[in-house]
Chains A and B, each alone.
Chain A
């Protein structure tokens, strides 16, 4: 339990990190540093996207699997670390 806290705190403390969200397989946000409505939006959308990305990777090569997903936009970068049950989402401002 403490390791989880420590890990999340460490990630949040890095330079440029805007928010950290932990989502479960059903799309319920477990831990978040954002307000509820934004979190729910991110959770729902990114969950679907991760599923799609994973299925794409596996369709092309069934031995393969999705390890990480990075979406870079004009304003920031959304990083998603997927797992079977949970999803760790971090939004960071990449430093220029």
Chain B
């Protein structure tokens, strides 16, 4: 059953004035108290009640009309003269002045003020109250703040299809402009509507590029000419080289001919030091390094094939991924290859095979970045696979220092221009790491997650404080590093020099040991009885003899106990991880000259005794190795 309420009102009654009437009060409901209900309640005692005595406040806002304020200056030229005196007239002013000077009040005042003033003047002459005391003791400011970095700018790729920012180059003078090369490095992922443009950005305006560079194929690398800041050279995805003049607009001034260019993307393009300032060279994964003069890009001036067998065969050549050139050493340059080898070359060698001076291998994958330390030209850093390694030019077998293996690929790296032991690396999980190798070698001093996509390139500004990183989706993030990481600390140069020298020396010793062992191995395998004895040059004989005797005693005790489980090192390889190398050498001397014998010894305890006996017979021959090993054993803990 529906309940319907119907209201009706006469139309003429709408809008009528209300007529109110008074009515006396009526009691509608009267509920008397029911005492029986009180039993279901308990009397509350004590009762909490609060009282507050404050004045009633209410909040109001008042704002006056905004007044526009402008700063202006007023030059007081001549003023204050009484109306009857014309300030331009010298006579009148002089007369006025004379009149004042005759005034009694004036005389008294001046005499009084004069004494006051003289007191202060004499005070000034007597002592310099703002003298710097204790000037020699410089307050050592301890930088306690943890290293940090903050993002100052983010520049995004304005196109719809995002491309990777593969290379960044700062403007040589002002550092307010950044040239970014965009391309897609995924194999055959070029979509039809992907734009080929690369941009020069002015940091004041991150929304719109200052100049759009339009090559015929996307640019993989791009560099400003350090001598002429209007000229840029770019290496294209299809192997051509192009150069731009910013004064002439976005189209390249000249492009190299396709037949003589590279056949693979040009991964590295660097300007050379030359009188004309127009020479550059480029490297690509097709195995060639070509030198160009940009005035004549129709053919390269010189060519080098990166064949480490020194035969100049293109089939054997290694693909180059990075290029490194230090203006202070104009004839030498280095190339990082896809195969993980770094090749140091000399441009001025007479024959092409001699151009390749040395190779450094150590990475498992392509060497993505290669940089010399600006303070120590002999030390350079490579970034590839999951580590960053520091090398010394003299040690060709392995790097002198390296970082731990990370969980993601390292994509780029560079040294700090201000501090000798600080460098930056980017990872493919979007993290930027700042390493201070003098302070901590296991972990980066600062690790920042810049973005979610992989970071592909990194470039430090010349002042060392601002770093730009480009990501896979074309976003360039500019970060400012805290001052602790970009100001030179006391003694830092000295400590860094000492550290590098120490590590180089360590590697040299290990390298020498390896050579000895390899020689011994060769000699032994050829069945020779007399082995080459190489005397280490360093230590005096008596100390070694004594140490050696003690060492053997310890070894004997261990073997007899069969207790010590030597961590089984795998079959000895030529280039093992440096950490285990000294242990390798330890077991090498004990073993019978081959890894299999060592392993057998490890597993079966009885053979240990036999090995010990065998070892004793070798005492005189293995003398030299043990000496070195004790040193390592002593060094190890």
Contact = CB atoms under 8 A, between A and B. Distances in A.
B106 A90 contact: no
Interface stretch (B63-71, B109-117, B139-147): B109-117
A17 B76 CA distance: 25
A77 to B, nearest CB: 6
A24 B124 CA distance: 26
A59 to B, nearest CB: 23
A57 interface: no
Contacts of B96: 28
A27 B76 contact: yes
Contacts of B101: 1, 4, 30-31
B122 interface: yes
Q: Kindly name the residue among B116, B121, B128 whose own CB sees the greatest number of chain A CB atoms within 10 A.
A: B121
Contacts, number: 96
Q: Interface size for chain A: under 10, 10 to 19, 20 to 34, or 35 or more residues?
A: 35 or more
B118 interface: yes
A29 B111 CA distance: 17
Interface string B63-101: 000000000000011111100000000000000110011
A83 B122 CA distance: 21
A34 to B, nearest CB: 15
A51 to B, nearest CB: 13
A24 B100 contact: yes
A79 interface: yes
Nearest to A29: B97
A5 to B, nearest CB: 9
A45 B122 CA distance: 25
Interface majority SS (helix, strand, loop, mixed), chain B: helix
B634 to A, nearest CB: 60
B330 to A, nearest CB: 46
Nearest to B82: A26
B102 interface: yes
B105 A85 contact: yes
A94 B76 CA distance: 28
Interface residues of B, number: 32
A51 B576 CA distance: 83
Contacts of A15: 125
Contacts of A85: 105-106, 109
Interface in A38-71: 40-41, 44-45, 67-68, 70
Interface in A1-36: 1, 3-4, 7-8, 10-11, 14-17, 22, 24, 26-28, 30-31
Contacts of B81: 26, 28
A88 B117 contact: yes
A15 B124 CA distance: 9
Contact of A30 (B79, B97, B111, B122): B97
B110 A94 contact: no
A4 B76 contact: no
B113 A88 contact: yes
Contact of B124 (A27, A31, A95): A95
Nearest to A12: B121
B100 A95 contact: no
Contact of A14 (B77, B113, B121): B121
Contacts of A17: 121
A44 B77 CA distance: 8
Contacts of A88: 110, 113-114, 117
24 contacts: A3-B107, A7-B110, A8-B114, A10-B114, A11-B121, A22-B110, A28-B96, A30-B101, A31-B97, A44-B79, A45-B76, A67-B116, A68-B116, A68-B120, A77-B124, A79-B120, A79-B121, A83-B109, A85-B105, A85-B106, A88-B113, A95-B125, A95-B128, A96-B128
Top-9 shortest CB links A-B:
A26-B80, A44-B76, A7-B114, A81-B113, A27-B80, A88-B113, A94-B124, A28-B80, A4-B110
